[in-house]
Amino acid sequence: MTQSVFGMRGIAVAPHSLAAESAVSVLREGGNALEAMIASAATIAVVYPHMNSIGGDGFWVINGPNNRPGGIDASGRSAQAASRDWYAARGLTQNIPFRGGVAALTVAGTISGWGAAQQLSKRHLNGKLPLSRLLADAIYFANQGIAVTQSQAACTALKRSELQAQHGFASTFLPDGQVPIQASIFKQPKLAATLTLIAKEGCDTFYRGKLAKMLAAELTQVGSPLTLADLKAHQAKLVDPLHTAIGHGRLFNMVPPSQGLLSLLILGIMDRIQGWDHDPEGAAFVHAQVEATKLAFSIRDQYLTDPAFMSIAPQDLLTPARIDALAARLDTTRAAAWGQKTSPGDTVWMGAIDQSGIAVSFIQSIYHEFGSGVVLPTSGVNWQNRGCSFSLNPTHINTLEPGKKPFHTLNPALAQRSDGSVMVYGAMGGDGQPQTQATIFNRVTRFGDHPQQAIERPRWLLGRTWGQSSDSLKLESRFSANTIDQLRLLGHEVETIGAWDEGVGHAGMLLRHANGVLEGGFDPRSNGAVASF
């Protein structure tokens, strides 16, 4: 088993090694964790293009000075024109399509998050590195090319027939009309020019500058309801993360429309259940957490939407009494019924911690693989399809309204542990994110794993993630036959998947121990790495 990576002055983790290296190169130059994450976010948008883009959304949870938690909501709202009537006029009354211009109905917020993080860095952390430096690696890789990963090649091949007819997809992601092969060179010159413009004019150009005017015209051209007015109205929002206390410390995650609440509920329920923490790969652990996940999903699906449309304050769903009541419903001897269809999704989670203890848990996504599939013709921006998670049913909690934020599976996690350490951790993979977060957190905190060990152990997923269609309980084939048999006896519909299956997500974790030592683990299911110095 691979050992965790250690550092003293800075550390970063990402699902692509070049993004982790971008972050640490900024830390080496005296940058802080916020500046490092901007660099990493820009690089990952270029080097892992099937999983994220600057045409998506982002969320930040931050451990700030004196361990003060904070967050940035950089998610976009639906277009003012995007009403249920707008879709009905186009013959769409049941569901919003996953692909095409009509799926590109929400503002891409991630660039505003970069801008908000840079302002926080300058205001509170003496940040001095210019945006041109922070985006330099991304611009270089977009211009000069990247080595295609097996993940990109496989995902492109899998989705080619579904996406090749979408505006700009084939000319961008199918060079010479073919799926790029692993280790071939893949260039994105239009995206390079767009990143160069952002580096020169600042992040605000994406919403209110020269670039915004270009994007608005392109979006109209591809059939999106978004307009320049929608872009101009967008602002990233500074937020206080949701929080809950457990026996091992305080946990933080993102406010709605993120499903961060779900991650906190799972760990809160698990903290109240006994008898599962004897074997990190045993049936008792898997069963307890799967059942906690089902209970947490029930709360999410009843309440979570754009907070402006919620009937209860999100933090009120995390009171000890509410979590006690959920835990009391968990049956340690039998699996509860599960007929729910969960949401797939493509995402990247990344983390960075600097020498002073500023820590960032960051997630950036375009929702499905390649988002809407639309690549804007001049800017080269692959636009997200997050808005397809809206319902066209007017009675649904996540029904479409103009100017509404869609429900997000994205949720970056942070823990301030009772031993004085700080942990940032997360994963990609739609509804698999909170499940994987809880798994690796508990393996480190309750079973004593080091981060790399916790991530490398076999994992599971209840429901679907990207590239999957069934809603069974999926276990990597490295689990013992005894564990699988016991879970079936408990009533779970068990399906085995690959030994190192991307379907369980790309996880990562960083720790700053109480003595200042930095430690991290990355997911070998990805092309990732931990970089440190």
Residue 381 and residue 58: Cα distance in Å, rounded?
15
Number of Cβ within 10 Å of residue 182's Cβ equals 12
Contact assessment for residue 87 and residue 103, using Cβ atoms and an 8 Å cutoff: no
Q: What's the residue count for the chain?
A: 533
Please give the DSSP secondary-structure letter assigned to residue 346: E
Contact assessment for residue 435 and residue 338, using Cβ atoms and an 8 Å cutoff: no
| Cα 63 to the center of its chain, rounded Å | 18
- The first and second tokens of residue 415, run together, are 């823990």
User: Which residue intervals of 385-523 are DSSP H helices?
Assistant: 432-445, 451-456, 481-489
Strands 473-476 and 494-497: parallel
Please give the DSSP secondary-structure letter assigned to residue 353: E
Residue 415 and residue 320: Cα distance in Å, rounded?
18
SS (H, E, C) 105-140: CECCCHHHHHHHHHHHHHHHCCCCCCHHHHCHHHHH
Residue 426 and residue 310: Cα distance in Å, rounded?
25
Q: Annotated catalytic residue: which of 43, 347, 409, 465?
A: 347
- The first and second tokens of residue 337, run together, are 């019924």
- Cα→Cα distances 272→276, 288, 331, 472, Å: 11, 11, 13, 26
* 156 is annotated as an active-site residue: no
Contact assessment for residue 22 and residue 39, using Cβ atoms and an 8 Å cutoff: yes
Number of Cβ within 10 Å of residue 14's Cβ equals 33
Residue 518 and residue 278: Cα distance in Å, rounded?
27
Contact assessment for residue 429 and residue 306, using Cβ atoms and an 8 Å cutoff: no
Residue 396's contacts (CB-CB under 8 Å, 6 or more residues apart) are none
Half-sphere exposure of 111 (CA within 13 A, CB side): 28
Residue positions annotated with a catalytic role:
347
